[in-house]
Amino acid sequence: MKGFTLFEVLVVTLIMGIIMAAVLMVFSISQRSWSSGNVSINLRDQVIRAIMTMNKELSQGPAAGANQINLVTGASSNSVTFYLPHDNGGYGSVVNPAGNIQWAGPYTYSLNGSRQIIRTFGATWSVLANYVTSLQFTRSASRIIQVNITARQTPTAGQQLQDTEQAIIKIRN
């Protein structure tokens, strides 16, 4: 009868154990990498969606020189409050019969204590982005608002990830 000796079985078991440990290590590293990439994409997605919402509303909103925005030229703030043109009287236009623009608001973008960008309109509010550590609005010219957002998040088993975005928004008129 031919068979394997105890020593041969132990050597094969040791080699298989080493191979399995290497496979598990590769799997663990790839799982951490996937998690980190997923968090990074989620962070960027939230910041971009917040900037797109702000760009849409601020660019259609307050006219340059109008008192419909609380940020004066040359000033910076971590929040901004503004009004948007709105058909308040049901005329089918934001301009009433007297020729005046009707405004709705105030709308406010701000950073709360839970690291969220909040959009407030009257008594209602919505979260535009999470994990935000810095929100800055700068009115560099009468028709230009610069928005800077920094967001940070730490994946479950990894280093802290950061995304910083900047938008230059041109106010209408």
The model's pLDDT over 48-92, given as tens digits with 9 standing for 90+, comes to: 999 999 999 988 876 544 567 788 888 899 999 988 888 888 888
CA distance 154 to 105: 36
Q: What's the confidence (pLDDT) of residue 85?
A: 84
CA distance 159 to 153: 9
Given a contact cutoff of 8 angstroms between Cβ atoms, the answer to whether 138 and 146 are in contact is: yes
Residues above pLDDT 70, as percent of the chain = 94
Q: Chain-wide mean pLDDT for the chain?
A: 88
Residue 19 pLDDT level (bands cut at 50, 70, 90): very high
CA distance 163 to 168: 17
* pTM, two decimal places: 0.75
Render pLDDT for 97-126 as a digit per residue (tens, 0 to 9).
888 888 888 899 999 999 999 999 989 999
Q: What's the confidence (pLDDT) of residue 95?
A: 84
